[in-house]
Every structure is written in C-alpha cells, then in structure tokens.
C-alpha cells in the first residue's frame, strides 16, 4: 500500500498569498496528475489561530523572518498566514481534492509551530498522520507540496523516523529558498530518502 502526501497547497503559500512561494502554483498540475497513481491520497493544511506565536504581528518589535526562541526552540517568525477559516487557509482552487481521503491540520497550538505533517516542532504533539497511515497498512509514502525546504522537508524526515519507505517527488514540490532546498535534498538522500521526478510515476501504470 502506498500513499501520496500533499503538503499545504494553500492559497497563502501560492502567488498572491501572504507567504507566497514563487511559482508555488506551478506544481499543482503535476500534483493533480500524480493522484490517480496512488492507493491513498492524504493532504495537510496549515491551520493557525490568529494569535499564533510564530506570526511576527504577535511579537511586538519583530518583523517577518526574524528569529526568536519559542519553548526552547529557535523559530522563524512569519507573516500572518493560513489563519483558521480564512480564504488564505483554503486549498488552492486548482488543486484536485476529490481523491483526498483525509486532511490533517497542523499548527493549531498557538504556542508551537508545526512544519511537519506528523508532529508539532517540539515533537510532543502528533497530528495522528503516522497512526492513520499505519492503520491503512501504508508502507511507502511519497511527498509533494509546499514549501519544499520547510514543511515538506520536515515531513519527509519524520516519515523516515516513523519507518516508512520514503520518497520525495522533487518536481512536485517548490521551496521558499531554492539554494537551501538543494542542500536539504542531499541531506535527505543521505538519510535513505528516494528523490525522483514525477515522470517516473506517471510513466508507469498504478
């Protein structure tokens, strides 16, 4: 059993959004075309309360992309994004959602950020994603979405730790910082992650 995990393909992370990733919308067609090639499709969604501590606006005197310490962890401050119930938190309208069997929302604790689709950043709170996949007898997990060097990266690392056979579909993810993404992909490869192009999946039948 295999699964495709779509990370945070939301309006605020695509052009026009409050934390837009350049060309973030260009992967949507690839993500849509991949979905029919998997036994299970799951998505994650950033779902922050308005008072989230990772928002620069909630830290007087701080600006977006400043770094502070939250609960003993060094954390980046962001523009307000993916606020619960807002249009920015919605999936991009171009994303095909009919195949998505479950949605795991993250970043709901106002005091802790959550990059990974599996855990909050302090690794004390699980989203339930790992348990869900294991209950479905998923062995192979493939990742795509936004941002490649942040939420996708941390999700891939946690997938390896959870014991899944893990693959990153690199042309179905777009990073905030391409240079950083290149370095992180090398790290993931050294952890045993397979890094492939979407054509490897699209050119073979399910």
**112-128 tens-digit pLDDT:** 889 999 999 888 889 99
Give residues with Cβ within 8 angstroms of 150, minimum separation 6: 115, 175, 176
Q: List phi, psi (to 5°) of 107.
A: 75, 25
| Structural domains of the chain, ranges and CATH numbers in brackets | 2-52+81-202 (3.40.50.850)
Catalytic residue among 46, 80, 106, 144: 106
Q: Contact at 8 Å (CB) between 9 and 96?
A: no
What's the pLDDT band for 204 if we cut at 50, 70, 90?
A: confident
What average pLDDT score do residues 162-175 get? 97
More confident residue, 93 or 122: 93
Catalytic residue among 46, 151, 158, 185: 151
Confidence (pLDDT) at 74: 80
pLDDT at residue 57 is higher than 80: yes
pLDDT at residue 67 is higher than 80: yes
- Examine the residue annotation and report whether 96 is marked as an active-site residue of this protein: no
What's the pLDDT band for 26 if we cut at 50, 70, 90?
A: very high
- Examine the residue annotation and report whether 151 is marked as an active-site residue of this protein: yes
* Average pLDDT score over the chain: 94
Question: C-alpha 49: how far from its chain's center?
Answer: 18
What average pLDDT score do residues 68-92 get? 90
Confidence (pLDDT) at 139: 97
- Examine the residue annotation and report whether 106 is marked as an active-site residue of this protein: yes
pLDDT at residue 206 is higher than 70: no
pLDDT at residue 72 is higher than 80: no
What's the pLDDT band for 205 if we cut at 50, 70, 90?
A: low
Q: Contact at 8 Å (CB) between 61 and 25?
A: no
pLDDT at residue 145 is higher than 80: yes
Name the β-bridge partners of 40: 3
Q: Contact at 8 Å (CB) between 59 and 53?
A: yes
Q: What is the pLDDT of residues 3-12, one digit of tens each?
A: 999 999 999 9
Catalytic residue among 8, 25, 113, 149: 8
Tell me, what DSSP letter sits at residue 78?
B
Percent of the chain beyond pLDDT 90? 90
């Amino acid at each position: 059993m295999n699964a495709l995990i779509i990370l945070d393909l939301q309006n605020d992370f695509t052009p026009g959004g409050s934390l837009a990733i350049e060309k973030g919308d260009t992967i949507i067609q690839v993500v849509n075309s991949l979905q029919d090639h998997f036994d299970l499709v799951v998505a994650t969604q950033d779902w922050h309360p308005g008072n989230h501590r990772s928002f620069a606006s909630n830290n007087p005197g701080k600006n977006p992309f400043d770094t502070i310490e939250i609960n003993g962890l060094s954390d980046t401050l962001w523009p307000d994004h993916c606020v619960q119930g807002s249009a920015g938190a919605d999936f991009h309208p171009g994303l095909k959602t009919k195949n998505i069997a479950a949605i795991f929302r993250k970043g709901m604790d106002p005091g802790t950020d959550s990059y990974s689709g599996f855990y909050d950043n302090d690794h004390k709170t699980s989203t339930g994603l790992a348990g869900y996949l294991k209950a479905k007898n998923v062995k192979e997990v493939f990742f795509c979405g936004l941002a490649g060097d942040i939420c996708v990266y941390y999700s891939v690392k946690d997938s390896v730790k959870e014991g899944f056979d893990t693959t990153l579909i690199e042309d179905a993810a777009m990073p905030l910082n391409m240079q950083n993404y290149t370095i992180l992909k090398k790290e993931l490869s050294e952890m045993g992650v397979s890094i492939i192009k979407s054509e490897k999946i699209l050119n073979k039948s399910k």
